[in-house]
Structure 1
Amino acid sequence: WTFGGGTRLVVDLGHVPPLLTVLSPSMKELQQGKATLMCVANKGFPSDWTLSWEVVGSSSSSWEESRSPGVLQKDGLYSWSSTLRLSADQWEKVTCQAKRGSKDPVLETFRRDQCSQS
């Protein structure tokens, strides 16, 4: 931010790991034999965190993923999302991973048997 006659304020937030949430597929979709899961990463900094998926019980050729770019929020932190689409019965658990450089990744796991609890 720049104020008045050019005084500049720089806020260095350093390294802020995002909070991950995996959203489950809908029951209607599961009944159709499909599953779409979304990983939402909130309040991370800086913007160069990457999201990826690990799927247990399925090969990477049987699922697809898409990612959104980081979106700067009003609080100066970033949010991202990644969507995973796969067959409803060809996975046991999925893990969404947020990674930045050599830092330890942030992980959130969702198991298929959690779908029946929805």
Structure 2
Amino acid sequence: MVVPPSSEELLQGKATFMCLANKGFPSGWSLTWKVDGRSSSSSWEQSRSPGVVQKDGLYRWSSTLRLPADQWRKVGSVTCEATQGSQTPVTETLRRDQCSQS
């Protein structure tokens, strides 16, 4: 699940996206970001939270992507890609036109 930036944050010139993942073990997963289908750029800031154990013994964790707000206004989408080993990646894409505050 990709959480979009708030309208208040965009007014401050930033756009922060959060990718939420759960039901696994964070050490076995890689969370990566793509903007308009392209992998990382020097103007992006990415970070990852440590995993939090849930009642079922599996984890919940997240990855954060920060872009300048003016860059977000120029792109069409951001994608969070979760990969575990050689399995097919799981992707979630947020299109800018899906966001009311864009």
With the length of structure 1 as denominator, give the TM-score of the two structures. Answer: 0.72
Q: Which has the larger radius of gyration?
A: 1
> Are residues 1:88 and 2:72 paired?
no
Letter in 1 for 2:42: S
Structure 2: gaps (5+ residues): none
> Are residues 1:67 and 2:51 paired?
no
Cα distance in 1 for partners of 2:99, 2:70 equals 11
The total of aligned residue pairs comes to: 98
Q: Which runs of 4+ in 1 moved over 4 A?
A: none
Task: State the structure with bigger RCO (CA 8 A, min sep 6), 1 or 2.
Answer: 2
1:46 Cα offset (Å): 6.8
1:33 Cα offset (Å): 2.3
1:30 Cα offset (Å): 1.2
Contact 1:22/1:108, CA 8 A, preserved across alignment:
yes
Counting aligned pairs with the same residue, the percent is 71
Aligned-residue RMSD, C-alpha: 2.2
Letter in 1 for 2:82: A
Contact 1:64/1:85, CA 8 A, preserved across alignment:
yes
Letter in 2 for 1:73: Q
Q: Deviations over 1:46-95 (max 9, x none)?
A: 74111110112876111110001222211021111001100123132110
Q: Which residue number in structure 2 is paired with residue 99 of structure 1?
A: 83
Q: Which residue number in structure 2 is paired with residue 113 of structure 1?
A: 97
Q: Which residue number in structure 1 is paired with residue 23 of structure 2?
A: 43
Letter in 2 for 1:92: G
Cα distance in 1 for partners of 2:43, 2:27 equals 29
Structure 1: gaps (5+ residues): 1-20
Q: Which residue number in structure 2 is paired with residue 77 of structure 1?
A: 58
With the length of structure 2 as denominator, give the TM-score of the two structures. Answer: 0.83
1:117 Cα offset (Å): 6.1
